[in-house]
């Protein structure tokens, strides 16, 4: 069976270029596309696209010579690893079509579950059109309002990993700075040019009458559904944005107002800046919503400059609490989606999920917990609309591999394995770690972590390989997580704590 061995670390220096020179230099392959698939957890799709013959054999490495980081990305070695360790074990062919990806948004047919979420990535006709051409099924258009919007500069900041990629992202961006009339013209053009794509119109009103009128206008101008923005952390002054989402009574009131204005589906976009989301979701359903969109960004502060003492992004010596997004928020988003999925009062409510989705496997996690569609912004801001290729191919391949005939069959099937508390967990057995000495480089990181953060169950032998003391090991698997070479894995064998068993 295929064991995942291709990791981002094999290509950490790859810049994921636009119009990549490596592909321009290669006469037989599209190495940039293959590398991008590896980056976005779609190794199997990439391997399936590789020809059966080793076209790199005898090549003079033009792709590597053309690389913008010449000599730093071992393209041929990566592709050889893809062929030798992944392709040979593939048991499923690439699907010939994308029929498995078809789903719907509150009954509206969608060609796949992937939407742009309401933000700058879906704020003009040109941007949405290019996304639709790329393969996105629809877009939640940047929130429409009648407010006088004047944006700050700069308005983004981020936490980055060792490779410079964004882990967490902060914005102090507000709503659409185009007039309602201008945005309605965009809707009309998009619907005329892309009749099969979904337009989810995000709106924010200042009172009941405006919520109602904006919803009506969006339907009249071609929107397929309306998303009520009850969650923007950057529009909280005066009882707007997340101030609404924190008060179930207001969620119900303004949802009901929007429902008076339209017959098309309504989603309430809820804030994560609460202890529990179900109360607001229940209120939205009472008000007439067909579903919810969640989560929006989390109120945050990123960085405080040790010299200026100002947080980022700094605007003329000041900053503000803003919305946090990116892959770092995914665990929080998944928790809220599961919470609503477990609520019996929300049994028939539709969920459009977002929060830290970068690749198809991230999206799948939300689907398994009950979402029927997913929305993405931060990953698009970092990598572009082109990520849709691997989102679709990766999810489609997974569904085929698991013999699902439709993505709908996967919706919510993981919910029963999740509990809101740890009280239900079995606590009488241990699963010991297993050590793959052929991968171990003898760094000793596992022993440091076990000694200072665990239960002092590991030591290095004379060959600098870890040795386990099963009488001290509690099976926490901290060592599995910290090993930089993936040389420690779960044994998969559950042993009773009462047994005096020696771990291998």
pLDDT in tens, the chain (504 residues): 344 445 678 899 999 999 999 999 998 999 999 999 999 999 999 999 999 888 888 888 999 999 999 989 999 999 999 999 899 999 999 999 999 999 999 999 999 999 999 999 999 999 999 999 999 999 999 999 988 888 889 999 999 988 889 999 999 999 988 999 999 999 999 999 999 999 999 999 999 999 999 999 999 999 999 999 999 887 766 677 788 999 999 999 999 999 999 999 999 999 999 999 999 999 999 999 999 999 999 999 999 999 999 999 999 999 999 999 999 999 999 999 999 999 999 999 999 999 999 999 999 999 999 999 999 999 999 999 999 999 999 999 999 999 999 999 999 999 999 999 999 999 999 999 999 999 999 999 999 999 999 999 999 999 999 999 999 999 999 999 999 999 999 999 999 987 644 444
Tokens of 196: 């099969």
Tokens of 165: 């990629």
Q: Which of 63, 232, 440, 446 is catalytic?
A: 232
Top CATH class of 8-89 equals mainly alpha
Cα dihedral 33, 36, 41, 47 sign: positive
SS3 98: coil
β-pair type (302-304, 298-300):
unpaired
**How many CB atoms are closer than 10 A to CB 502?**
11
| 232 tagged catalytic | yes
Residue with tokens 């019996």: 344
Tokens of 493: 């064998």
Tokens of 208: 């009941």
Closest CA to 118 of 323, 334, 340, 390: 323
Contact criterion met (CB below 8 Å) for 363 and 374: yes
Backbone angles phi, psi at 399, to 5 degrees: -60, -40
Kindly report the three-state secondary structure assignment for every residue of 194-222: CCCCEEEEEECCCCHHHHHHHHHHHHHCC
Q: Tell me which CATH homologous superfamily contains domain 99-417.
A: Aldolase class I (3.20.20.70)
Contact criterion met (CB below 8 Å) for 273 and 245: yes
Rounded CA gap, 461 and 447, in Å? Answer: 11
Give the max Cα distance, the chain: 77
CATH no. for 429-496: 3.30.70.20
DSSP H helices in 7-138: 21-25, 31-39, 43-49, 62-66, 75-81, 125-134
Domain boundaries, the chain: 8-89, 99-417, 429-496
Phi-psi map region of 3: left, alpha, beta (phi>0 left; psi -120 to 50 alpha): beta
Rounded CA gap, 469 and 466, in Å? Answer: 10
Closest CA to 336 of 245, 233, 206: 245
Compute the residue count for the chain: 504
SS3 content of the chain, % helix, strand, coil (to 5): 35, 20, 45
């Amino acid at each position: 069976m295929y064991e995942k061995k291709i990791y981002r670390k094999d290509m950490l220096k790859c810049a994921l270029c636009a119009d990549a020179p490596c592909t321009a230099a290669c006469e037989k392959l599209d190495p940039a596309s293959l590398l991008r698939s590896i980056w976005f957890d779609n190794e199997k799709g990439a391997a399936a696209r590789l020809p059966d013959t080793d076209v790199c054999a005898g090549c003079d490495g033009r792709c590597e010579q053309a690389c913008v980081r010449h000599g730093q990305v071992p393209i041929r070695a990566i592709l050889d690893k893809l062929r030798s360790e992944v392709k040979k074990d593939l048991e499923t062919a690439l699907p010939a079509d994308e029929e498995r990806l078809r789903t719907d948004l509150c009954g509206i047919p969608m060609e796949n579950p992937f939407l742009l979420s309401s933000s700058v990535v879906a704020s003009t006709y040109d941007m949405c059109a290019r996304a639709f051409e790329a393969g996105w099924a629809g877009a939640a258009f940047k929130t429409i309002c009648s407010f006088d919007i004047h944006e700050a500069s700069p308005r983004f900041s981020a936490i980055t990993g060792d490779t410079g990629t964004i882990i967490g992202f902060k914005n102090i961006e507000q709503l659409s700075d185009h007039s309602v009339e201008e945005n309605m013209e965009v809707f009309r053009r998009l619907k005329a040019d892309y009749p099969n794509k979904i337009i989810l119109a995000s709106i924010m009103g200042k009172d009941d009458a405006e919520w109602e009128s904006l919803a009506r206008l969006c339907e009249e101008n071609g929107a397929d559904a309306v998303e009520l923005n009850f969650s923007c952390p950057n529009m909280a002054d005066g009882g707007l944005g997340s101030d609404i989402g924190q008060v179930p009574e207001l969620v119900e009131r303004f949802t009901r107002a929007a429902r008076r204005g339209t017959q098309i589906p309504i989603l309430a976009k809820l804030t994560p800046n609460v202890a529990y989301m179900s109360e607001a979701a229940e209120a939205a359903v009472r008000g007439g919503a067909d579903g919810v969109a969640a989560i929006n960004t989390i109120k945050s502060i990123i960085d405080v400059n040790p010299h200026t003492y100002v947080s980022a992004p700094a605007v003329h010596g000041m900053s503000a609490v803003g919305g946090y997004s990116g892959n770092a928020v995914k665990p929080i988003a998944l928790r809220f989606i599961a919470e609503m999925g477990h609520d019996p009062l929300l049994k028939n409510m539709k969920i459009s999920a977002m929060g830290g989705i970068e690749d198809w496997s991230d999206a799948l996690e939300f689907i398994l917990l009950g979402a029927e569609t997913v929305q993405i912004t931060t990953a698009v801001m970092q990598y572009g609309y082109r990520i849709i290729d691997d989102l679709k191919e990766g999810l489609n391949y997974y569904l085929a591999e698991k013999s699902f005939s439709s993505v709908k069959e996967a919706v919510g099937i993981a919910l029963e394995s999740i509990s809101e508390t740890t009280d239900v967990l079995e606590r009488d057995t241990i699963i010991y770690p297993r050590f793959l000495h052929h991968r171990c480089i003898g760094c000793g990181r596992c022993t440091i972590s076990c000694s200072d953060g665990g239960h002092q169950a590991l030591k290095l032998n004379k060959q600098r390989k870890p040795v386990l003391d099963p009488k001290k090991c509690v099976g926490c698997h901290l060592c599995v997580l910290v090993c930089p070479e993936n040389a420690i894995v779960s044994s998969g064998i559950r042993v009773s704590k009462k047994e005096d068993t020696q771990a291998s």
